[in-house]
Structure formats: structure tokens, C-alpha cells
Amino acid sequence: MERPIVDQESCISCGLCISTCPGVFRFNSAGKAECFDPAGAPEKDIQQAVDGCPVQCISWE
């Protein structure tokens, strides 16, 4: 299963991925988005978060 990953250096902490898929993404202790549960939403919803990221810092691994 592919898993979404967030490039921590590029993340601007906008929260769009978290509002799109709160079951998959959250803010970490540094205030950056991270994937904590790749099975927390359907793949199409996660892809929406990937596509919607304003700095394109989410990708599939």
C-alpha cells in the first residue's frame, strides 16, 4: 500500500490536508503536517489533499 508523506521542509502548516483528511493527517510537535494513519480515509480523499496542497509537499511513497 502506498502511503502519503509530507515534506517537512516545504510544509507551510496551512492545515488544508488536515481539514480534508483529519483521519490521515495531523500537525506534529514542530507544527508541520504529518501522515499518522494512511488508512484513515479512502485513497481518493487523500489524493484530494495531495492535489490541494498549495506548496505540493505531499506525495505518495
pLDDT per 10-residue tile (average), the chain, 61 residues: 94 98 98 98 98 98 94
pTM score, two decimals? Answer: 0.95
Q: Which residue has the cell 505531499?
A: 58
CATH topology of domain 4-60: Alpha-Beta Plaits (3.30.70)
C-alpha 21/C-alpha 48 separation (Å) is 9
What residue type is 24 in one-letter code?
Answer: V
* Domain map (residue ranges) of the chain: 4-60
Q: Which of 10, 9, 15 is nearest to 49 (CA)?
A: 15
User: What pLDDT, on a 0 to 100 scale, did the predictor assign at position 39?
Assistant: 97
| Cell (9 digits) for 43 | 485513497
C-alpha 19/C-alpha 2 separation (Å) is 21
User: What pLDDT, on a 0 to 100 scale, did the predictor assign at position 47?
Assistant: 98
